[in-house]
Amino acid sequence: MIYQATPAENFTPLLVAGLMIRPLPTAPLDRLLSYIARRIQDNHPAILERLRPLAGTRFLICPTDLPYEIELVLGEDRVDCHLRRSHQPDTEVTAANVTISGSFLSLVDMMDGKQDGDGLFFSRSLTVTGDTEALLTLRNAVDSDDIDLRAEILARFGPLKTPAEIFMSAGDRLYHRLARDMSVISRAITGPLSDRCEDLEQENQGLRDRLGRLEQTSVKTRNRLQVLGRKIAS
Amino acid sequence: MTNRTPTTKKLELVCPAGTPAALRVAVDAGADAVYMGFRDETNARNFPGLNFSVDELAEALDYAHERGVKVLLAVNTYAAAGKGDPWITAVDNAARLKVDAIILADVGLLDYAHRTHPELRLHLSVQASASNAATINYYAREFDIRRVVLPRVLTVPEIRAINQQIDIETEVFAFGGMCPMAEGRCSLSSYITGKSPNMNGVCSPASAVSYVQEGRDLKTNLAGFTINKFGPHERAGYPTLCKGRFSTNGDPGYLFEEPTSLNVTNILPELIEAGISALKIEGRQRSKAYVREVVQNFRKSVDAALSGERLIIPMDNLTEGGHNTTGAYNKKWM
Amino acid sequence: MDVMTNCKLSFGPLLFNWSPDKIRDFYFAVADEAPVDYVYLGEVVCAKRHKNNGHLPEIIERLEKAGKRVILSGLILILDDRDMALMEDAAAMAPDYLVEANDLTLVSRLRGQDHAIGPYVNIYNETSLKYYETGGASRISLPPELPADSLKVLAAAATADLEVQVFGRMPLAISARCYHARAHGLHKDGCQYICDQDPDGLTVNTMDGQPFLAINGLQTLSHRYGNLLAELPELAAMGIHNFRLSPHDVDMVKICSIFRDRLDGKLSLEEANKILEEELFALDFANGYYHNIAGLKQVEG
């Protein structure tokens, strides 16, 4: 299980952002989201218990800097999570009870328990419309246990053999893709919100720093995974 | 996991735990005590998705006690007439699970707890609004309360004078949300929304709140009334009635209180000198991230103050409106 | 027509900053003309306003001569030495008058003697009711936010006389901060007694211009006037027989007569409400708290 710890470090929100910013297939990410939802459902019963009063509630999570939205639907004993392209005119969309909008990183950091949602709201980094009580319940429920998004995502890559390969190839592709996507991310962030330039400049720098660190560790990981892959093959 | 020895502490840092995860964060970040409530109307943060089941409280006690941290249970609403069972059960459970203290406001419950569970340590909640030495001494005499959480209407000199006239401990609010009204004596919320802190454990509840984006302005609506409007760059606050903008004769303004949060890091030496025993951080409704940051910062600030230094930490990223205040501790506030 | 027997009316303590002469004239008229049984006197909101009570001895004398029972009310919030001194003054009257405690400081001073407890003391359930009764409270005016269900339980458990406010702006909050001073850009210590400009409180409007609350120095009141005319028979049936009218700068003698006539069955609810609404045509009423909904709401019929 040596591969688990190190790649976890690599699985930053930015990587996911990189995946999401790609204009094309939503299917793999959609499956990943469904998987995360199921993991939370199975491994955090206390959260599910707290969410029970919300059965039937539909949340729409809109990362303002990405061309996707995440739809979260709560059932009696289950959580369904789906990805879709923003503002698709040709699809029938059931209206959400609650919409949360904010930068992708704010949303992930809040989910991860790294940033305070109220603080983000006070600073106007988050926008909320719809059923405020449902949102509060969701926030409190998610915050009531420790969810490690990275670990949950990594666990997706299951038994030892396939994951190494998946991860290796994914990591490789992602890394190359990211360099290109960075400019898309910057454009997405700075374009529509040019009046908040200063804040965003900082955020941008943060992203670049993260990318720099990612670049370093990704090379190491790739090497390690190649070694691991050879071991498994032999 | 270092055991913090209480003997070296002169000031107890009492930290909020809205959820089990927040409790672990508070303990790990340097709390001396944590406080929480059950997941029902028996406590004043009866917010959806928040608080503890009886089993979760038992686990919390294990986690905290193994690390030398105290657990205080807030049962700080007023029992409903003819429907007092949840409150009695909460007090009985607190005694059975051996919490380090229970925080009560209702005299009926104080009387019950004192008579039924004499070994249970009682703290008087801020919701009882005991605002002078005579009242505090009365509660101490009647119910053997061991600590009073002082209402946020007192200046530092008034707190010092109170401490000189009482024999029990005082706990004061150090950080977070701030009522401009005397706590436990306010029905503003129920006048508008039908739900009050005293009866329902909520103030301006989320179920009555809606946010309306008007162009780039954010409008806050409480039970159908516009209570605030924030411009595109303006930092917002909670949709609490008393922190809204209203007008009397002219332009709308913050008649009762601005969106702001209490922060006493700049007056900690004075508060310690005034003889307080404990500092309370508000925010059981806030996230783990808030608890981690505030508790870590207060740990530093308290330790600095105890060794004679003043360590001011603004934490504006977490405060309402991006502002902080020392509230009534400074007479100018009034 | 239904008659509610044994029902008494009271005037609660005056909440506003009226001049000494205006206070005297008001209570003299009450003594001479109002069909009221009990009159609560004394400053409850702000110790600084105590200066207005210069005519208190004459007022008490006039009321008692007219056969009204006088009860002396204590402050809601006791913080500094001035508040404490006023509280002690009230406590010192206890052997001669029924004194009403509105905070725990005065409750603790009066314990063991016959006394009254006002609506600012938190009594939400029968256990706390019992606790205060055991301490000597024989007359208890209940908090305005209690719904009918709670009132019924308390009335069934009570040995003390219970009272409910049935007319006037409802007290909602008390603060160390003076909102009148704040609204006028003044500090509490240099308030210039600015609250004397608003004999019924200063209207607070929302950003959309709806009247919402009323401020009265340290106190915040409802903008709407509580009116439980329609609920009187139900209250009487529960066993609550004391009804408080909170004084305002309107014809309180007339309002008192409307309630008296309604209790005596001389007016139907419709007639009583019609006269009240004609008298106070500019005001909005509310009875939401009683019906366990938002206090500002008005439930008809």
pLDDT at residue number A146: 85
pLDDT at residue number C300: 86
Return the number of other C-beta atoms located less than 10 Å from residue A149's C-beta. Answer: 18
Residues of B in contact with C146 (CB under 8 A): 81
Cross-chain residue pair C204–B248, CB shorter than 8 Å: yes
pLDDT at residue number A188: 47
The gap from C-alpha A69 to its chain's centroid, in whole angstroms, comes to 11
Report the residue of B76, B115, B185 to disrupt the C interface, i.e. the one with the largest count of C CBs within 10 Å: B185
Is residue C299 included in any domain, yes or no? no
Name the nearest CA neighbour of B205 among C294, C119, A46: C294
Q: CA B330 to CA B79: how far, in whole Å?
A: 34
Q: Where are the domains of chain B?
A: 6-178+260-333
Share of chain A above pLDDT 70, in %: 59
Residue C83's domain comprises 8-170+224-291
Q: CA A188 to CA A194: how far, in whole Å?
A: 10
Closest-approach residue (CA) in chain B for C133: B108
The 10s digit of each residue's pLDDT in B2-31 is: 444 433 448 999 999 999 999 999 999 999
The 10s digit of each residue's pLDDT in B195-245 is: 999 999 999 999 999 998 888 888 999 999 999 999 888 888 888 999 999
The 10s digit of each residue's pLDDT in A159-199 is: 443 444 444 445 445 544 544 454 444 444 444 444 455 55
Averaged pLDDT score across all residues of chain A: 71
Closest-approach residue (CA) in chain A for B231: A124
Q: CA B254 to CA C177: how far, in whole Å?
A: 13
Cross-chain residue pair A116–B289, CB shorter than 8 Å: yes
C84 contacts chain B (CB < 8 A): yes
B206 contacts chain C (CB < 8 A): no
Residues of chain B with pLDDT under 70: 1-9
Q: Is A3 helix (H, G, I), strand (E, B) or coil?
A: helix
The beta-carbon neighbor of B187 closest among C104, C144, C209 is C144
**CATH classification of the domain holding C157:** 3.20.20.110
pLDDT (tens place) for every residue of chain C, 301 residues total: 567 889 999 999 999 999 999 999 999 999 999 999 999 999 999 999 999 999 999 999 999 999 999 999 999 999 999 999 999 999 999 989 999 999 999 999 999 999 999 999 999 999 999 999 999 999 999 999 999 999 999 999 999 999 999 999 999 999 999 999 999 999 999 999 999 999 999 999 999 999 999 999 999 999 999 999 999 999 999 999 999 999 999 999 999 999 999 999 999 999 999 999 999 988 999 999 999 999 999 998 6
The 10s digit of each residue's pLDDT in C50-87 is: 999 999 999 999 999 999 999 999 999 999 999 999 99
CB B34 within 8 A of CB B191: no
pLDDT at residue number A39: 82
| Residue C239 φ/ψ region, left for φ over 0, alpha for ψ in the -120 to 50 degree band, beta for the rest | left
CA distances from C115 to C46, C100, C160 (A): 22, 6, 10
Q: What's the whole-model pTM score?
A: 0.87
Residues of B in contact with C223 (CB under 8 A): none
pLDDT at residue number A213: 67
CA distances from C97 to A108, C7, C49, C73, C161 (A): 66, 21, 22, 10, 16
Is residue C206 included in any domain, yes or no? no
The gap from C-alpha A219 to its chain's centroid, in whole angstroms, comes to 23
Neighbours of chain A (3+ CB pairs under 8 A): B
Burial-class residue C292 by CB neighbours within 10 Å (0-12, 13-18, 19+).
Answer: middle
The beta-carbon neighbor of A122 closest among B20, B210, B322 is B322
Domains and CATH numbers, chain A: 25-149 (3.30.1050.10), 153-233 (no CATH)
Report the residue of B288, B291, B297 to disrupt the A interface, i.e. the one with the largest count of A CBs within 10 Å: B288
Report C:152-211 residues touching B (Cβ under 8 A).
Answer: 152-154, 170-179, 182-183, 187-188, 202-210
B218 contacts chain C (CB < 8 A): no
Domain B6-178+260-333 has CATH 3.40.640.10: no
Look at chain C and report how many structural domains it folds into: 1
Q: pLDDT-derived band of residue A22, with 50, 70 and 90 as boundaries?
A: low
Residues of B in contact with C143 (CB under 8 A): 187
Cross-chain residue pair A140–B286, CB shorter than 8 Å: no
| CA-based nearest distance C93→chain B, Å | 19
Sign (positive or negative) of CA dihedral C113, C115, C119, C125: positive
Q: In chain B, where do the E strands start and end?
A: 12-16, 33-36, 70-75, 101-104, 122-124, 147-149, 169-176, 209-214, 217-222, 225-230, 261-263, 278-281, 324-325
Cβ-Cβ contacts under 8 Å between B and C: the total is 200
Report B:292-311 residues touching C (Cβ under 8 A).
Answer: none
Token digits of residue B280: 């309370």
